[in-house]
Structure formats: structure tokens, C-alpha cells
A and B are shown apart, each in its own frame.
Chain A
């Protein structure tokens, strides 16, 4: 059974650029969430999607956006990148209400220079 797949694994971008990260959940999982992990702030919730609808959004500026497609795959976009956006971005999928455990991908390491 395939796990949660995140692409790309590593990304280097220049300040001011925009970036799109992709997440393919486990087959049958309709809920996808995104988290940002940094040494200073730890793990912070970005947003959650369920059946193509954004259900919750964390306390991040509008430069952070996302979407979910009909096949449950999700993308997140960060526009006008800042140095502070450098982080590990983790995607997790789950299958509520049958299973409330989140399965995480290996993340995308974004470096903004």
C-alpha cells in the first residue's frame, strides 16, 4: 500500500519567487493537512482539506494557499517567498471518521535564498 507522497523532496527558491508543493494521499484518504516545521516555531498547522473543501486554516499570511483536487491530491502554494518561509513542509492524510490517525509524507524541504 503506497504511503503519502510529497514532491519535490528538496527545493531551493529565491526570495520573491513563488513555489508549489504537491501531496498525494493514501488511496481512500479524503482528508489532507499541511504543516510547517521549523527549528524555531516547531510544527504549525497550515490548512486542512476534506473532499476538495478547505475546512480549516492556520495562522499564516495570505501568501500561503492550497487546494485539493477531486482525486484527493493536494497542492500548497507560497507566493512572494521570504527567507522565513524556509522550512520542512509536511503533508498528512487521514480517513475520518473511520480512522483518525494521520499518516505523514516525508516532506518537502524548502530553502529560500
Chain B
């Protein structure tokens, strides 16, 4: 069974600085998706960034980027120029497979989350 591990329960960063959140996962599959979700106090899960396992290039979305190391099964999130609005719980999630074939387990497997505080 696939598992997702986030080893940093809490992180803190100064406004305008850069922070990296860690995520590792375990799977025997070769084709899958990885996601980072943000959950602010409003509790809605917001998709921050996604990575397809078959793509070697690391995904980037504005100030957010990932370091995807498939062989090491590592998927870290880097937040540059941190802003007060980035303060939230961040979840790493795994999904496989890519098909919607019958019997496929198309569910998201989440890590335990990292609570990010941004200091002014």
C-alpha cells in the first residue's frame, strides 16, 4: 500500500524568506500524481501544485516549486518570498493510477500535514 510521510509537523518562516516543506512517499507503482494542498483556517483544501510522475521537469507555480526526486521518492515544496497569506496547513498527497479503469483506486492518500507559520 502507498504511504505518504511528512516529517515536519510545524515550520516557521520569516516574511519574504524561502521555506522548504518535505514529503516522502512509498509506492511500487511507476505512474502516479503528486500534489501539494494548502488548508488555511477557512478549512478549504486548495491545490497548490501538482506533479506527474512521468515528467522529469519539476513543476512550478509562481512562488511555489517542487523538487521531485522519483528514485528517492521525495517530493518537497519550496515557497519563495513567503507572504503572510501562505500561513496554513500544507498536505502532500499521492494519487494513482492515471486511468479511470474499473477497480482502480483513484483516491488521494494524504500525509499528516505541516503547519506553516509566517512571521512578519
Residues of A at the B interface (CB closer than 8 Å) are 31, 33, 35, 42-43, 45, 48, 50, 55-56, 58, 88, 90, 92, 96-97, 100-107, 109
In the complex, how many residue pairs between chain A and chain B have their CB atoms under 8 Å apart? 59
Chain A residues near B105 (CB, 8 Å)? 56
Contact with A along B18-33 (1 / 0, CB 8 A): 0000000000000001
**When the two chains form their complex, are residues A103 and B47 in contact, meaning their CB atoms are under 8 A apart?**
yes
Which of A48, A97, A107 is the one whose CB lies under 8 Å from B98?
Answer: A97
Given contacts A42-B113, A88-B43, A104-B44, A56 and B107 within 8 Å (CB-CB): yes
Given contacts A42-B113, A43-B110, A50-B100, A100 and B33 within 8 Å (CB-CB): yes
**When the two chains form their complex, are residues A101 and B107 in contact, meaning their CB atoms are under 8 A apart?**
no
Provide the main secondary structure of the chain A interface: strand
**When the two chains form their complex, are residues A101 and B35 in contact, meaning their CB atoms are under 8 A apart?**
yes
**Chain A nearest Cβ from B63, distance in angstroms:** 19
Chain B residues near A106 (CB, 8 Å)? 42-44
Provide the main secondary structure of the chain B interface: loop
List which B57-107 residues lie within 8 A (CB) of chain A: 91, 95, 98-100, 102, 104-107
Which of A50, A58, A96, A107 is the one whose CB lies under 8 Å from B43?
Answer: A107
**When the two chains form their complex, are residues B91 and A43 in contact, meaning their CB atoms are under 8 A apart?**
yes
**Chain A nearest Cβ from B21, distance in angstroms:** 16
Chain A residues near B16 (CB, 8 Å)? none
Q: A50-B100, A56-B105, A56-B107 are in contact. List 5 more A-B contacts (CB 8 A).
A: A50-B106, A100-B95, A101-B50, A104-B45, A106-B44
Which of A102, A107, A109 is the one whose CB lies under 8 Å from B108?
Answer: A102
